[in-house]
Amino acid sequence: MKKLLQRLVSAALVMVGITAGAGAQDLTIGLAGSVTSMDPHFHALSPNINVSKHIFDMLVNQDERQRLVPGLATEWRTLNDTTWEFRLRRGVKFHDGSDFTAEDVAASIRRVPNVPNSPSSFAIYTRPIVEITIVDPYTIRFRTAAPYPLLPNDLAQVAIISRNSENASTGDFNAGRATNGTGPYRFVEFVPGDRIVLQ
C-alpha cells in the first residue's frame, strides 16, 4: 500500500509539472475493484463507469454538487410536458476523427436496452424515452410516455458512442474495435483482471 501511495504521489507531481521531463509520461493507477468491460452500456458498475468516463462523454455532466452542467449537449429544454430538446456541441470529434452528431446520440440511446447479457443494464436511464427525433445534426428531441423531469439527470449516466458501434458486441468494445469515444483518453488495451491502457 505504501509503494502504491508513493507511486500515485510521484505521478501527481509529474502531472502538475513539478518534476522536469521531456515528452509523455506514464501514470499508473491502482483500482480497488475489477473492471468487467470496456462496453460503456454493458454493466452499471462503479469501476466500469469510472474508466468509461475517461473514454466516452455524456450529453449532460454533473459537477461536484451533482448540479447538471453541459456535456456533449450545450443546452436542453422542454417543448411540452413529454418532449425534451437537446442542442449538441459542435466541432466534437470521435477518436477516429469522425464528427459527433445527433445520429450518434440516437444510436447510443437505441443500443442501451439491447446489450445482450448485461448483468446491470443502463436501460433504467433510457426506459422513459418512447421516441427519438433528429431535428438536425446538432438538435435531438426525446419524447417520453409521461412527463419526466429527471431525463437530463438520467442522460448524465449514458455514455455516447459512435453510431458505427451501435450494433457492436461487448467483445468488440473489450477488444477495442468499437471503443471509439469523444472523451479525453483513447482506448489502447484491456486485459481483464490485469490492466487497462489509455492514451
- Integer Cα distance of 131 and 138 in angstroms: 17
- Integer Cα distance of 146 and 130 in angstroms: 10
Contacts of 17 (CB under 8 A, 6+ apart): none
Cell numbers standing for residue 123: 436501460
Encode pLDDT of 137-172 as tens digits.
999 999 999 999 999 999 999 999 999 999 999 999
State pTM to two decimals. Answer: 0.85
Encode pLDDT of 98-149 as tens digits.
999 999 999 999 999 999 999 999 999 999 999 999 999 999 999 999 999 9
CA angle (180, 132, 111) in 5-degree steps: 40
